[in-house]
A and B are shown apart, each in its own frame.
Chain A
Amino acid sequence: MSTVENSADWLGARLARKEDLRLITGQGRYLADMVLPGMLHAVFVRSEYAHARITGIDTSEAAAMPGVVAIFTGVDFKDTVKPMPQPVVKPNLPARYPTFWPLAIEKVKFHGEPVALVIARDKYVAEDAAECVYVDYEELPVVRDPEQALGPDSPLVHEEDGSNEIFAMTLTGGETPEEQAANAAAVEEIFQRADVVVAERFRCHRTGITPMEPRGVLCDWNDSDGLTAWITTQRPHIDRLALSDLLEIPAEQVRVVAPRDQGGGFGVKAPFYRENLAIAYAARALRRPVRWVETRYESLMNVGQERDQINDLEIAASKDGKLLAVRNRGVADNGVGTTGVYWGFVMPFLGAVELPNAYTWERGDVSLRCATTNKAALTPSRAFGHFPTRFALERAIDMVAHKLDMEPAELRRKNLVPSLPYTSVTGEYYDSGDFVKVWDNLMAQADLPAFRAEQAKAREEGRYLGIGFACGVELSGVASELLVPMENQPGYGAATVRLDPRGKVYVFGGDAPGGQGHETTTAQVVASLFGIRPSDVVVTTGDTGTTPFGSGSIGARAGSYFVSAVAKACAEIKDKITRILAHDLQIEASVQHFEFTNGEIVYLGDAAKRKPFTEVVERIIMFPINLPEDEVGGLEHTAFFEAAKPMICFNADCCIVEVDVESGNFSIKRWVTSEDVGTVINPNIVDGQMHGAIVQGLSNAMFEEFVYDEQGQQMSADFEHYKLATAADVPDIEITYAPTPCPHTPLGTRGIGEGRPSSVPGALSNAVCDALRPWGIEITDLPLRPGSVWQKLRETRG
């Protein structure tokens, strides 16, 4: 912890978090800790088949068990709940949106789909009763492989759609088929004349980010206030609108609260889920509080599954190492797609947009097809959508370098976008920063010449070291320009800043964090602007009853959009405070003539003219007489922030591995990074975001994998089979910074951490391939495990 002498220095201080005391003493309040009088417990009965017709559901034995209050099945919702899709949870992207209700009706479409809902007075009884709900199924052929799903002979997941292609798009070349064909021809022409072409099929498995706290919802109903729903959610305001629309409850009678403590989100808690709808319906029907706490088994069956994509990627380059054109044909295994807001395909869509990364290309030809299958829907997972595309691109760039006998690091630097702003070949706007500066800092940390010498020496001893690089352009918040078409939601940040008569500051935000430390960083910003202490600031998030509308804790919106809205609101309030203070001091002065520091407001023209912050605030709120003309008392402001164009942050990774060429085992010897995160509010928190994201990327790349068998049975729905990295599996991580303050935010901050895992699989697999250069081994598939490395070695070494 650093000592802060001047209150302006709160910005950038390694402050211990305000959240910590309650969390290290067991006083956190997570959803599963919340209990209401008369609360009932809900358990879902879930499909045992991937694809089957429901021929009967017998609930009689379960319903007769003592303590069972109600059992709902799909038909109970058919005429009482509006089906999805509804506009509030439907992107403005053309797609075949499947129609669905909270529980399966007529047929089940993936292993784990909710079929019945059991409500009981005791959770053990609810579980017993769920075991006694007997569902008869008639099995149907399973749609399992995404490419076969797109073929003409495939069985259909959603029969009414007539096709398993839920979404397809060409992201380059213009709006019309003619323009796109002209672009494709121009790209083909570049490939024809290129000195070097790399064309490979890259596969990324089904994996994602699984928060330690599973999902949950607690709903309460009364006839005057309507519905109050506590939901583990990153976007309570969207959930509120969706519950209102789907249950046809007037909006003023729906309040959604994201618990202040949430056990991680990482995108998994961003969709609107059918389970929430079912529990809200049950609470209203029974007029009793109903709580559902997801088990880990259910969680791994239903959510946190992403990536899962094939990319046929081609790169054309010149012999001096200039990247010319990129062409990609992506096929995503969308899963069933029955998830509000995202529908499975929004992630692959953004992944295709983000494919070109930080490099200059003359042209690109990028298209994507998403296939519905009998698997859980893809749900967002940190590095939203672009984990597979970035793995493919960063791997392919090394393959170009290998063909040219160039250092991959040198090839990257040669092709980095030299100056910003820049618009990528898929139309993504990069607002600001200095990619080359970040890269050169990484190279200074990595000391490539020294490594090459060490590597050569090690090879003589029969040890195989390798170095790998990758970089990533990441979204810093999501501008309305992108979020309105992509998710039918606004991108702006909103914050209410309210001062009380004691000079304490209350900040209200509509997003809903899950461990990112927003209470602390927000308090540091407010403290630095008002010249007070972070302990004088109270931050409330996630309650739709008290906070301004926010689209949610998604896409690194906090450091970019929310904090900027807070800063704008504080600026408005400072303006008013100083107008009134100048009047009281009988001086001609405005806000720039005052400094807010160490609990005082000081007139810069005469330091003797100063007042305690608390005294001035109390005067304006409690004694609003003798004010300047046209002023009224009170100090509160709600501000909205939106950048004119989307904003980014940027990072680069270097990984050093040692590979045992006999066994295929590899170990990470060093992981060092270089980051442009703009102005840092709390370095501890930024470091922690980077550590966590990188280890998530490693865990995804090396360990985690959702496995479905030939019948579509999910084989990996517990932590014995879905392995997360433990502390002993991963290295220490060195984070270094080469920041450029963002010119488009009031404090120069950038939103960080969301996309950060995406460059990890590229850097890791590039390092392994570098170690195996004597055999020219090129990895194209994830996960990357000792077994797959051994197989490659066996194929090439014999």
Chain B
Amino acid sequence: MKTITVTVNGTSYEESVPERMLLVDFLRDRLALTGTHVGCTYEGVCGACTVHLDGEAVKSCLMLAVQADGHAVTTVEGLAGEGGPGPLQRAFSNSHGLQCGFCTPGILMNMSDFLARHPDPSDEEIRSGLVGNLCRCTGYVHIVRAVRDAAREMREGASEVQA
């Protein structure tokens, strides 16, 4: 067992965990943050467990909880701002970018990181950015549209703030 200090969605937690505990299990089983999902056998392929570690998208099934010691984690539960769901989340609903919703948290976390790096992506760039997330329901068409719409809204929102 090892004691770790992790900030998750802005709250600091000090927890004693087995060294072998996966970060995704720590989030789900210890902190009851069940929005982060497991869709493959901890092999990092499906992307449903994607969270942010210090602002960067990572797959929480490929990390141990002890590796997050001293770091800040954001999960899908921490993605909405004070005003409710943000532009990326709203775009997924408006464009019907989700069906069963199981892959959605991981896609939202990956794409929020992606849009921070690529504020004006082409459809091809969006599709390439999505290869670490599997979706079985949507055929990706509406997901690409949602990301494109969110990028536009976020750019317009950003320019309004500057003006």
Q: Is there contact, CB below 8 Å, between B140 and A25?
A: no
Query: Contacts A263-B37, A724-B134 given: A515-B99 contact, CB under 8 Å?
Result: yes
**Could you tell me the distance between the alpha carbons of A212 and B105 in the complex, rounded to whole angstroms?**
12
Q: Is there contact, CB below 8 Å, between B45 and A23?
A: no
Task: Give which listed residue, B45, B48, B85, B143, contacts A25 with CB less than 8 A.
Answer: B85
Q: Is there contact, CB below 8 Å, between A213 and B100?
A: yes
Counting CB contacts under 8 A, is B130 at the interface? yes
Counting CB contacts under 8 A, is B65 at the interface? no
Contact code string A682-714 (vs B, CB < 8 Å = 1, else 0): 001101100111111000000000000000000
Tell me which residues across on chain A come within 8 A of B41, comparing CB atoms: 295-297, 718
Tell me which residues across on chain A come within 8 A of B141, comparing CB atoms: 687-688, 691, 695, 732-733
Q: Is there contact, CB below 8 Å, between B102 and A264?
A: yes
Tell me which residues across on chain A come within 8 A of B37, comparing CB atoms: 30, 32, 212-213, 263
Query: Contacts A21-B85, A124-B18 given: A212-B46 contact, CB under 8 Å?
Result: yes
Q: How far is the CB of B37 from chain A (nearest CB, A)?
A: 7
Q: Which residue of B lies closest to A299 (CB)?
A: B41
Q: Is there contact, CB below 8 Å, between B139 and A733?
A: yes
Number of A interface residues in the complex (CB < 8 A): 55
Task: Give which listed residue, B36, B39, B136, B144, contacts A727 with CB less than 8 A.
Answer: B144
Counting CB contacts under 8 A, is A1 at the interface? yes
Q: Say which one of A12-20, A112-120, A334-342, A473-481 lies at the interface with B.
A: A12-20
Q: Interface on chain A toward B: helix, strand, loop, or mixed SS?
A: loop
Task: Give which listed residue, B38, B96, B128, contacts A684 with CB less than 8 A.
Answer: B96
Q: Is there contact, CB below 8 Å, between A688 and B103?
A: no
Q: How far is the CB of B44 from chain A (nearest CB, A)?
A: 9
**Could you tell me the distance between the alpha carbons of A19 and B101 in the complex, rounded to whole angstroms?**
9
Query: Contacts A263-B102, A295-B41, A297-B41 given: A727-B93 contact, CB under 8 Å?
Result: no
Q: Which residue of A lies closest to B45 (CB)?
A: A719
**Could you tell me the distance between the alpha carbons of A582 and B126 in the complex, rounded to whole angstroms?**
58
Tell me which residues across on chain B come within 8 A of A124, comparing CB atoms: 18, 20-21
Tell me which residues across on chain A come within 8 A of B140, comparing CB atoms: 691, 695, 726-727, 730
Counting CB contacts under 8 A, is B33 at the interface? yes
**Could you tell me the distance between the alpha carbons of A516 and B108 in the complex, rounded to whole angstroms?**
20
Q: How far is the CB of A692 from chain B (nearest CB, A)?
A: 5
Counting CB contacts under 8 A, is A748 at the interface? no
Question: Which of A24, A124, A264, A693 has the most chain B CB atoms inside 10 A of its CB?
Answer: A24
Tell me which residues across on chain B come within 8 A of A27, comparing CB atoms: 35, 77
Contacting A at CB under 8 A, from B79-117, are 79-80, 85, 89, 92-96, 98-105, 108
Q: Which residue of B lies closest to A293 (CB)?
A: B38
Q: Which residue of B lies closest to A690 (CB)?
A: B139
Q: Which residue of A lies closest to B144 (CB)?
A: A727
**Could you tell me the distance between the alpha carbons of A213 and B137 in the complex, rounded to whole angstroms?**
11
Task: Give which listed residue, A26, A685, A730, contacts B77 with CB less than 8 A.
Answer: A26
Contacting B at CB under 8 A, from A391-442, are none
Query: Contacts A25-B80, A212-B103, A213-B102 given: A1-B138 contact, CB under 8 Å?
Result: no
Q: Which residue of A lies closest to B33 (CB)?
A: A26
Task: Give which listed residue, A24, A32, A694, A718, contacts B85 with CB less than 8 A.
Answer: A24
Q: Interface on chain B toward A: helix, strand, loop, or mixed SS?
A: loop
Q: Is there contact, CB below 8 Å, between A720 and B139?
A: no
Q: Is there contact, CB below 8 Å, between A209 and B93?
A: no
Query: Contacts A25-B79, A213-B102, A515-B100 given: A16-B93 contact, CB under 8 Å?
Result: yes
- Which size class do B's interface residues fall under? 35 or more
**Could you tell me the distance between the alpha carbons of A26 and B31 in the complex, rounded to whole angstroms?**
13
Counting CB contacts under 8 A, is A262 at the interface? yes
Contacting B at CB under 8 A, from A646-700, are 684-685, 687-688, 691-696
Q: Is there contact, CB below 8 Å, between A20 and B139?
A: no
Q: Is there contact, CB below 8 Å, between A24 and B126?
A: no
Tell me which residues across on chain B come within 8 A of A209, comparing CB atoms: 136
Q: Is there contact, CB below 8 Å, between B100 and A727?
A: no
Tell me which residues across on chain B come within 8 A of A24, comparing CB atoms: 76, 85, 89, 92-93, 98, 101, 104, 108
Counting CB contacts under 8 A, is A517 at the interface? yes
**Could you tell me the distance between the alpha carbons of A295 and B123 in the complex, rounded to whole angstroms?**
33
Query: Contacts A1-B94, A21-B93 given: A212-B76 contact, CB under 8 Å?
Result: no
Tell me which residues across on chain A come within 8 A of B98, comparing CB atoms: 20, 23-24, 515
Q: Is there contact, CB below 8 Å, between A726 and B134?
A: yes
Contacting B at CB under 8 A, from A517-534, are 517
Q: How far is the CB of B144 from chain A (nearest CB, A)?
A: 7
Q: Is there contact, CB below 8 Å, between B131 and A727?
A: yes
Q: Is there contact, CB below 8 Å, between B39 and A213?
A: yes
Q: How far is the CB of B2 from chain A (nearest CB, A)?
A: 15
Query: Contacts A727-B127, A727-B144 given: A26-B76 contact, CB under 8 Å?
Result: yes
Query: Contacts A33-B34, A296-B40, A719-B45 given: A264-B99 contact, CB under 8 Å?
Result: yes
Contacting A at CB under 8 A, from B1-54, are 18, 20-21, 28, 33-41, 43, 45-46, 48
Q: Is there contact, CB below 8 Å, between B96 and A264?
A: no
**Could you tell me the distance between the alpha carbons of A28 and B76 in the complex, rounded to whole angstroms?**
11
Counting CB contacts under 8 A, is A728 at the interface? yes
Counting CB contacts under 8 A, is B142 at the interface? yes
**Could you tell me the distance between the alpha carbons of A669 and B130 in the complex, rounded to whole angstroms?**
20
Q: Is there contact, CB below 8 Å, between A730 and B134?
A: no
Q: Which residue of B lies closest to A688 (CB)?
A: B96
Tell me which residues across on chain A come within 8 A of B89, comparing CB atoms: 24-25
Counting CB contacts under 8 A, is A167 at the interface? no
Task: Give which listed residue, B35, B99, B133, contacts A26 with CB less than 8 A.
Answer: B35
Q: How far is the CB of B155 from chain A (nearest CB, A)?
A: 20
Q: Is there contact, CB below 8 Å, between B139 and A694?
A: yes
Query: Contacts A30-B37, A295-B41 given: A728-B137 contact, CB under 8 Å?
Result: no
Q: Is there contact, CB below 8 Å, between A696 and B136?
A: yes
Tell me which residues across on chain B come within 8 A of A685, comparing CB atoms: 96
Tell me which residues across on chain A come within 8 A of B60, comparing CB atoms: none
Query: Contacts A20-B98, A211-B136 given: A26-B46 contact, CB under 8 Å?
Result: no
Tell me which residues across on chain B come within 8 A of A733, comparing CB atoms: 139, 141
Contact code string A1-13 (vs B, CB < 8 Å = 1, else 0): 1000000000000
A to B CB contacts below 8 Å, 11 in the list? A20-B98, A26-B79, A26-B105, A27-B35, A32-B34, A264-B100, A264-B137, A296-B46, A515-B100, A516-B99, A733-B141
Interface residues of A (CB under 8 A from B): 1, 16-17, 19-21, 23-30, 32-33, 124, 209-214, 261-264, 266, 295-297, 514-517, 684-685, 687-688, 691-696, 718-720, 724, 726-728, 730, 732-733
Interface residues of B (CB under 8 A from A): 18, 20-21, 28, 33-41, 43, 45-46, 48, 75-77, 79-80, 85, 89, 92-96, 98-105, 108, 123, 126-128, 130-131, 133-144
Which 4 A-B pairs give the minimum distances between C-beta atoms?
A: A26-B35, A515-B100, A263-B102, A695-B139
